[in-house]
Amino acid sequence: MPKGRLPKPAHMRQNRTKKIGATTLQNPDTSDQPKRRKTPPLQNPDPDHRVFHELTIAWWKRVWKSPMVSEYLPTDIDGLARLAILVDDYYKNPHKEVLAEIRLQEARFGLSPIDRSRLQWEIGKGEEAERKRKPQRQQQVEPSPADPRGILGVVK
């Protein structure tokens, strides 16, 4: 049994301030809004007309289905395409130097949780996620067995 008080439910906490300038990103799969952007073809910006690895193509599709896509500008497609070339190079010939460069480039596009935090992007929870989440039940304290000292009193 935990000692001390249980934490308050999230909706009852006092400090629910949001970061100034923070953006809440909506997941296109759960959002009511129509999808904003189609997945651009991976072959267009590729200068050497390479045949991409199947894992690179899957990565490209996941990036363009992610909630971050709402924040990307058309000029970001070129940067993501260069990143796709690095990802493809890594899948074809893994080296830690290429992986380090991928990590640096991914940070520019908010592709990891810590990068999204740095960019002040939050992934919005859909209504369905809120319904699925059950509030924590208050643990009921079982009454302790009768304390024998309770019958004692002050004798005059």
16-74 confidence digits (pLDDT tens)? 666 666 667 766 555 555 455 678 888 655 678 889 999 999 999 999 998 888 888 88
Predicted pLDDT at 6: 84
Predicted pLDDT at 67: 86
How many residues in total does the chain contain?
Answer: 156
112 within some domain: yes
79 within some domain: yes
7 within some domain: no
Q: Is the pLDDT reported for residue 92 higher than 90?
A: yes
90 within some domain: yes
pTM: 0.61
78-82, 85-89, 110-114, 122-126: least confidently modelled range: 122-126
Q: For the chain, how many structural domains are there in total? A: 1
135 within some domain: no
Between the alpha carbon of residue 63 and those of residues 37, 80, 103, 154, the distances in Å are 12, 9, 15, 75
Q: Average pLDDT, stretch 79-97?
A: 94
35-39, 103-107, 116-120: least confidently modelled range: 35-39
113 within some domain: yes
For every residue of 78-135, DSSP letters joined together read HHHHHHHHHHHHHHHS--HHHHHHHHHHHHHTT-SHHHHHHTTEEEPPPHHHHHHSPP
Cβ burial 39-74 (10 Å sphere, 16+ → b, else e): eeebeeebeeeeebeeebbebbeebbebbbbbebee
Say which residue, 138 or 59, is predicted with more confidence: 59
140 within some domain: no
How many secondary structure helices (H) and strands (E) does the chain include?
A: 5, 2
Q: Is the pLDDT reported for residue 131 higher than 70?
A: no
6 within some domain: no
The domain of 98 spans: 20-127
Predicted pLDDT at 85: 93
Predicted pLDDT at 16: 60
